[in-house]
Amino acid sequence: MIEIRLPDELARLAQSEGLLSDDAIQKLLEDAIRRRSGRMLLDVARGIHAADIPPMSDDDIVAEVKAVRADRRTRGVGANLAANDQPGDDAGRS
Protein backbone atom coordinates (compact mmCIF):
# COMPACT_ATOMS: atom_id res chain seq x y z
CA MET A 1 0.00 0.00 0.00
CA ILE A 2 1.18 3.49 -0.83
CA GLU A 3 0.17 6.53 1.16
CA ILE A 4 0.31 10.03 -0.26
CA ARG A 5 -0.26 13.33 1.46
CA LEU A 6 -2.11 16.12 -0.30
CA PRO A 7 -3.23 19.54 0.82
CA ASP A 8 -6.81 19.28 2.10
CA GLU A 9 -8.32 21.46 -0.63
CA LEU A 10 -6.57 19.53 -3.39
CA ALA A 11 -7.67 16.22 -1.86
CA ARG A 12 -11.30 17.44 -1.68
CA LEU A 13 -11.24 18.62 -5.30
CA ALA A 14 -9.58 15.43 -6.53
CA GLN A 15 -12.07 13.30 -4.58
CA SER A 16 -15.04 15.27 -5.95
CA GLU A 17 -13.71 14.75 -9.49
CA GLY A 18 -13.23 11.02 -8.93
CA LEU A 19 -9.48 11.29 -9.32
CA LEU A 20 -8.51 9.37 -6.20
CA SER A 21 -9.75 5.94 -7.29
CA ASP A 22 -7.18 3.26 -8.14
CA ASP A 23 -8.12 3.38 -11.83
CA ALA A 24 -7.99 7.18 -11.99
CA ILE A 25 -4.61 7.37 -10.27
CA GLN A 26 -3.25 4.65 -12.57
CA LYS A 27 -4.43 6.58 -15.63
CA LEU A 28 -2.99 9.85 -14.29
CA LEU A 29 0.39 8.23 -13.66
CA GLU A 30 0.44 6.50 -17.06
CA ASP A 31 -0.42 9.78 -18.78
CA ALA A 32 2.30 11.63 -16.84
CA ILE A 33 4.89 8.98 -17.71
CA ARG A 34 3.87 9.07 -21.37
CA ARG A 35 4.14 12.89 -21.47
CA ARG A 36 7.54 12.81 -19.76
CA SER A 37 8.78 10.19 -22.24
CA GLY A 38 7.53 12.32 -25.12
CA ARG A 39 9.35 15.38 -23.76
CA MET A 40 12.55 13.36 -23.38
CA LEU A 41 12.25 12.14 -26.98
CA LEU A 42 11.74 15.70 -28.22
CA ASP A 43 14.75 16.85 -26.18
CA VAL A 44 16.90 14.18 -27.86
CA ALA A 45 15.56 15.18 -31.29
CA ARG A 46 16.36 18.83 -30.58
CA GLY A 47 19.87 17.86 -29.47
CA ILE A 48 20.45 15.89 -32.66
CA HIS A 49 19.13 18.77 -34.73
CA ALA A 50 21.30 21.28 -32.85
CA ALA A 51 24.36 19.06 -33.33
CA ASP A 52 23.61 19.04 -37.07
CA ILE A 53 23.89 15.24 -37.23
CA PRO A 54 22.79 14.09 -40.69
CA PRO A 55 20.01 11.48 -40.83
CA MET A 56 21.04 7.90 -41.51
CA SER A 57 19.84 6.19 -44.67
CA ASP A 58 18.12 2.81 -44.49
CA ASP A 59 21.30 1.22 -45.86
CA ASP A 60 23.38 2.87 -43.12
CA ILE A 61 20.99 1.60 -40.44
CA VAL A 62 21.08 -1.94 -41.84
CA ALA A 63 24.89 -1.82 -41.94
CA GLU A 64 25.02 -0.68 -38.29
CA VAL A 65 22.62 -3.44 -37.20
CA LYS A 66 24.69 -6.05 -39.04
CA ALA A 67 27.90 -4.74 -37.45
CA VAL A 68 26.43 -4.89 -33.94
CA ARG A 69 25.10 -8.41 -34.51
CA ALA A 70 28.44 -9.57 -35.88
CA ASP A 71 30.23 -8.06 -32.89
CA ARG A 72 27.82 -9.77 -30.48
CA ARG A 73 28.32 -13.12 -32.21
CA THR A 74 32.10 -12.69 -32.07
CA ARG A 75 32.08 -11.77 -28.38
CA GLY A 76 29.29 -14.17 -27.47
CA VAL A 77 27.26 -11.31 -26.06
CA GLY A 78 23.51 -11.66 -26.45
CA ALA A 79 23.97 -15.09 -27.98
CA ASN A 80 20.25 -15.77 -27.88
CA LEU A 81 19.60 -12.49 -29.72
CA ALA A 82 22.10 -13.32 -32.42
CA ALA A 83 20.81 -16.91 -32.63
CA ASN A 84 17.34 -15.56 -33.37
CA ASP A 85 18.55 -13.56 -36.36
CA GLN A 86 16.94 -14.90 -39.48
CA PRO A 87 18.56 -14.87 -42.91
CA GLY A 88 17.29 -11.85 -44.77
CA ASP A 89 16.26 -10.15 -41.52
CA ASP A 90 18.68 -7.31 -42.11
CA ALA A 91 16.53 -4.53 -40.72
CA GLY A 92 16.00 -6.15 -37.31
CA ARG A 93 12.79 -6.39 -35.39
CA SER A 94 10.44 -3.76 -34.01
Residue 36 CA, chain-centre distance (Å), reads 10
What is the Cα–Cα distance from 1 to 17, expressed in whole angstroms?
22
d(CA 44, CA 84): 30
Tell me what the mean pLDDT of segment 5-20 comes to.
96
pLDDT at 44: 93
In this predicted model, what pLDDT tens digit does every residue of 17-27 receive, in sequence order?
A: 999 999 999 99
65: Cβ–Cβ under 8 A, 6 or more apart, which residues?
90, 91, 92
Question: Averaged over 73-94, what is the pLDDT?
Answer: 59
**Position 92 pLDDT exceeds 90:** no
pLDDT tens, 37-82? 999 999 999 998 999 888 899 999 999 999 999 999 998 876 555 4
Average pLDDT over residues 26-41: 97
